[in-house]
Structure 1
Amino acid sequence: MPLKPDLPHPEPQQRRVGYAIVGIGELSADELIPAARTSEHAYVAALVTSDSQKGNAFARAYDLTEEDVYTYDRFEELKDREDVEAVYIVLPNRLHREYVERAARMGKHVLCEKPLSVNAEDAQAMVEACRAAGVLLMTAYRCQYTPQHWAAREAVQGGKLGPVKLLDAIHGQVEEDPEAWRLRRDLAGGGPLPDVGIYCLNTIRFVLGLEPEWVFATLHQPQDDPRFREVEESMSFMLGFPGGVIANGLTSYGTQKTATLRVLGEQGTVLMDPAYTYQGLSLTISDGHGDFQPKLPDEDQFGLEMDHFAECIRAGKTPWTPGEEGVQDHRIMDALYESARSGRVVRLDRIEGRDVFRGERPQVPGQG
């Protein structure tokens, strides 16, 4: 992985929160560690990896020492690091529960990559472990912290589109490596749905602020492709919301990279294309008088979520996307897989109100 030692280093701040990054894969190397270097409220204090040599290389590049690098069997030694107040779990999905629970027992706050786990039962256990330990748990839903997604949400909920009728979300890419852990059901919990399709599901819930009442899904798992021996290649799903709003989602590991969100109202539309990429998000709002593209900053999404969690730690407030938000997506994904197996609509518990599973609203650049 290429290192990025040339990014500007932020000025030290008295109350910045130190993170231990657990897992130095592509996401950590290319996005998380560089994001923390420009963060306002957070910084990387330690690294946890299976490869000490790799960890030491990153330590040298990012102003850490070899004493700041830990292997997984030394994870509990972080308990004595007062400067490590939070851990960011960036491991295969199946390992999330183990490391979240271990971190909670050490009294460390936890930011965990999406999906929160592999099913709703494990995700709920993670929430309960952190609650019992008195630490915060946040699900890393970076798209709920961008100016573009918040502008889309405000257009939808602020009446600019009139009554919303339909939503359409697509997130697909080609997974070429048949040995990738994301293609192993025991490690991933599923195929593209919990990896890239979750952006469709979570963003639909976010822009509406509502929870679905029923779901329906169908999937395709080719029998002659070694990549998909255990998980689906593609899934199509439908979500039914209060008031008759219907959302359609498509996700796949077999299509050219596509990442879109469209919201259709009686008097206007919202289009995000791309909608889930790390940079270059594009938003167009049509309200019957023409198309409008708000001028919004292209912020570092990982830096925004890390800063928000740091601020919540300092203030003792529930983060905007707490563990409960991750659990709810797992409940829905579990129902989608059940629907795909049975061929039937699956009803969900009706949940009244808006943003029921969310916490303190984040400070988002470009938004009031």
Structure 2
Amino acid sequence: MNEAKLRAVIIGCRMGLNHAKAIASLPEFELVGLCDLNADTARDAAAQSGGTAAIYTDFAHMLQEVQPDVAIIATPTGSHARLTIMAAEAGVKAVYCEKPMAVNMGDARKMMEVCEAANTLLIIGHQRRMSAPFITMRRLMQEGAIGKPRLLRATCAGDFLSDGTHSVDILLSLTGDEKVKWVLAAMFRQDVEPGLPDQYDYAIFTGRRYGHAVESGMMVTLEFESGLRAEFLTGDARLPGSDYQDIEAIGDQGRLWRAGDSANPQLQIQDAQAGGFRAAELDAPDSFNDGLPGVFRQLAISMHTGTPHPLAASIAIHVMEVVMAAYESARLGRRIELPLQQDRFPLDLMLEGAVTAP
């Protein structure tokens, strides 16, 4: 590729350290700015990624002074919409925003609208769908390795917005991003004292993470337009002892199982060839640790050629809709048909005591 290097900036340098290392490793990009409320955190990210990026504590100032081609947003979820909109309105050509897209559908839709009006490419960090186990899983399902898919299952630690967003995106990707018809969910939330700070440790529940309210556990069922169903167990409702992002596809002639991030083998299949599970050969070496470089390589290609990106916001907005529909179902105690009409975060409405739809 002979095009000039794309000038990239990152805001949120704790999580963004991984993004900084990925960008610095790629010849398609030049890392020109790092922004964090704590300047020392930004300096540390600069030192670990080559040490040449300018340091900022103000995102607007960085955008104005650096005028980047790409902005990478790796801040807590509550700031995603505001920072994405700020970048698009400043003329940034592409924004990579970490998952989940936003805290509510109103913010997510606004992000899409502003980026489309500004001709800014927006992608959301659901990079797991680009990893070898799920690419292989999707191909095997399409080839009929397990017959007709009947049920998809996912379980993981964490809350349904922060962590379940990965699960939803993975299962949607396995179907070729088929649309969801309806969502039915139940959730529970431990009592907590008001005013406790955000907590990132799964083992300590304060009722808030990443700038938004969270639940203790959730159980979700949904149906795709084809009639295929999916089930999710997250947080304290997850299967005991299960690994993070334990994913299974069940067909009428077999099963595919990715037993979590630390599973070995990474993907197993049960079909007519054997009574139990055996390792499935991946299409390529597992590149999960290379996930971000792969995402950004594809971003450069998309920016130069107009090729759609696998993590496009047009896909992520449906993931967001499914996640929010689960919370709305839990709030109202009934099945929610899509498209979702609720723009606010239903868990906020629950905590405010709004039992019925406004």
- For 2:330, the aligned partner's letter is A
- For 2:29, the aligned partner's letter is A
Whole-Å Cα distance in 1 between the matches of residues 190 and 43 of structure 2? Answer: 42
- For 1:227, the aligned partner's letter is T
Q: Classify 1:150/1:333 alpha carbon distance in 2 versus 1 (closer, same or farther; 3 Å).
A: same
Provide the secondary structure at the position in 2 that maps to 1:195.
coil
Q: Which of residues 38, 46, 57 in structure 2 aligns to 1:71? A: 57
Q: Which moved more, 1:296-305 or 1:115-124?
A: 296-305
Partner of 1:259: 245
Q: Which of residues 41, 44, 47 in structure 2 aligns to 1:54? A: 41
Q: Which of residues 165, 184, 187 in structure 2 aligns to 1:219? A: 187
Partner of 1:186: none
Q: Deviations over 1:126-155 (max 9, x none)?
A: 111111111111111111211221111111
Q: Classify 1:272/1:347 alpha carbon distance in 2 versus 1 (closer, same or farther; 3 Å).
A: same
Q: 1:101–1:129: 8 Å Cα contact kept in structure 2? A: yes
Shift of 1:87: 0.6
Partner of 2:20: 33
Q: Which of residues 298, 321, 327 in structure 1 aligns to 2:286? A: 298
Q: 2:221–2:230: 8 Å Cα contact kept in structure 1? A: yes
Q: 1:166–1:245: 8 Å Cα contact kept in structure 2? A: yes
Provide the secondary structure at the position in 2 that maps to 1:244.
coil
**Pairing 1:169-184 to 2, within 5 Å after superposition:** 169-173=154-158
Provide the secondary structure at the position in 1 that maps to 2:162.
helix
The reply on whether 1:198 has 2:181 as its aligned counterpart is no
Q: Deviations over 1:8-34 (max 9, x none)?
A: xxxx97644332111111x222x2222
Whole-Å Cα distance in 2 between the matches of residues 137 and 280 of structure 1? Answer: 34
- For 1:235, the aligned partner's letter is M
Q: 1:90–1:112: 8 Å Cα contact kept in structure 2? A: yes
What is the total number of aligned residue pairs between the two structures? 314
Q: Classify 1:159/1:102 alpha carbon distance in 2 versus 1 (closer, same or farther; 3 Å).
A: same
Shift of 1:117: 0.7
Partner of 2:335: 345
Shift of 1:245: 1.2
Shift of 1:106: 1.6
Partner of 1:234: 217
Provide the secondary structure at the position in 1 that maps to 2:206.
helix
Partner of 2:254: 268
The two structures have a TM-score, normalised by structure 2, of 0.80
Provide the secondary structure at the position in 2 that maps to 1:193.
coil
- For 1:237, the aligned partner's letter is V
Whole-Å Cα distance in 2 between the matches of residues 76 and 288 of structure 1? Answer: 61
Whole-Å Cα distance in 1 between the matches of residues 70 and 8 of structure 2? Answer: 5
Partner of 2:110: 125
Shift of 1:111: 0.6
Whole-Å Cα distance in 2 between the matches of residues 86 and 243 of structure 1? Answer: 38
Q: Deviations over 1:279-331 (max 9, x none)?
A: 97811123311334214313211111111112111113332221222221221
Shift of 1:69: 1.1
- For 2:11, the aligned partner's letter is V
Q: Classify 1:60/1:199 alpha carbon distance in 2 versus 1 (closer, same or farther; 3 Å).
A: closer
- For 1:308, the aligned partner's letter is Q
Provide the secondary structure at the position in 2 that maps to 1:161.
coil
Q: Which of residues 63, 66, 88 in structure 1 aligns to 2:72? A: 88
Shift of 1:227: 1.6
Q: 2:20–2:45: 8 Å Cα contact kept in structure 1? A: no
- Give me the identity figure in percent: 23
Whole-Å Cα distance in 1 between the matches of residues 244 and 265 of structure 2? Answer: 12
Whole-Å Cα distance in 1 between the matches of residues 225 and 76 of structure 2? Answer: 34
Shift of 1:43: 4.4
Whole-Å Cα distance in 1 between the matches of residues 41 and 279 of structure 2? Answer: 46
Partner of 2:307: 317
Provide the secondary structure at the position in 1 that maps to 2:120.
coil
Whole-Å Cα distance in 2 between the matches of residues 51 and 112 of structure 1? Answer: 20
Whole-Å Cα distance in 2 between the matches of residues 152 and 346 of structure 1? Answer: 29
Q: 1:142–1:305: 8 Å Cα contact kept in structure 2? A: yes
- For 2:294, the aligned partner's letter is L
Whole-Å Cα distance in 1 between the matches of residues 137 and 86 of structure 2? Answer: 37
- For 2:247, the aligned partner's letter is L
Q: Which of residues 239, 247, 253 in structure 1 aligns to 2:230? A: 247
The reply on whether 1:100 has 2:89 as its aligned counterpart is no
Q: 2:35–2:62: 8 Å Cα contact kept in structure 1? A: no
Whole-Å Cα distance in 2 between the matches of residues 346 and 126 of structure 1? Answer: 24
Taking only aligned residues, the RMSD between alpha carbons, in angstroms, comes to 2.5
Q: 1:16–1:42: 8 Å Cα contact kept in structure 2? A: yes
Partner of 2:353: none
The two structures have a TM-score, normalised by structure 1, of 0.78
Q: Classify 1:105/1:319 alpha carbon distance in 2 versus 1 (closer, same or farther; 3 Å).
A: same
The reply on whether 1:150 has 2:150 as its aligned counterpart is no
Whole-Å Cα distance in 1 between the matches of residues 301 and 252 of structure 2? Answer: 39
Shift of 1:218: 0.4
Whole-Å Cα distance in 2 between the matches of residues 243 and 102 of structure 1? Answer: 39
**Pairing 1:326-337 to 2, within 5 Å after superposition:** 326-337=316-327
Whole-Å Cα distance in 2 between the matches of residues 270 and 18 of structure 1? Answer: 41
Q: Deviations over 1:18-55 (max 9, x none)?
A: 32111111x222x2222223335334222111122332
Shift of 1:125: 0.6
